[in-house]
Amino acid sequence: MKKLFTILGAGLLTSVAMAADLRIGVVDYLAINTDTSFFRDAAAKMQASEQNNASEVQSMAKQLSEKQAQLTDTKTKLTDVQRKDIQADITQIQQKMDGERQKAQAKMMMNRKAMMDKAMDSLRDVVKQVSDEEHCAFVLRKESIAYAPDMVDLTAKVVAKIKATSPNVKPAPNQALKQ
């Protein structure tokens, strides 16, 4: 059903564009991702944040392991009270770890969404600038258009503008090898 609406929408936009002599621009987001580090920079920031959260959970896992070792150590004689205290500590650490994992997961998802939203907003700004320069009435994702007469592929110009306006944006590693 979604494909049908995409095809109908593209057909309608093409008809409107032809009737009004409007230009349709297309952008290939996969090519932008391949040719620049635009989205990889956001992903690297997310990964660094996730690793920081993982180290907290690893610290608790070490505490858990130490408590479990105390419980299973055959050299140490434990009273029933000591054994119950250690088991209670283990349960508490496990619950705390579960809570930390859940908080870390929620925080990671929120950070991921915020970073990707910011990257997409920046990309939309660049696409809009290029679209205005090329006098395009509409800009669509290239992969959603099967055919549109006189469509203008803005991808190369968007990539060039990203590279020109962001000095820290470098070609993707596999692209650097090809050049």
pLDDT digits (tens, 9 = 90+) for 85-110: 889 998 998 998 899 888 888 888 88
pLDDT of residue 3: 64
What pLDDT is recorded for position 177? 40
Structure tokens that stand for 48 in this block: 């660094």
pLDDT tens digits, 52-85: 777 777 888 888 888 888 878 766 788 889 889 8
pTM of the model: 0.58
User: Torsion angle of alpha carbons 117, 126, 172, 35, nearest 10°?
Assistant: 130
Residue 74 phi, psi (nearest 5): -80, -20
Closest C-alpha among 26, 28, 24 to residue 136? 24
Gap between the Cα atoms of 103 and 108, Å rounded: 8
Residues 27, 160 contacting (CB under 8 angstroms)? no
**pLDDT single digits (tens) 111-143:** 888 888 888 888 899 999 999 999 998 899 988
Structure confidence at residue 130 (pLDDT): 94
Kindly report, residue by residue over 8-19, the tens digit of the pLDDT.
565 655 555 454
Domain ranges in the chain are: 2-178
Q: Take residue 175 and report the two structure tokens written for it.
A: 């692209």
**C-alpha closest to that of 70 among 93, 84, 86, 89:** 86
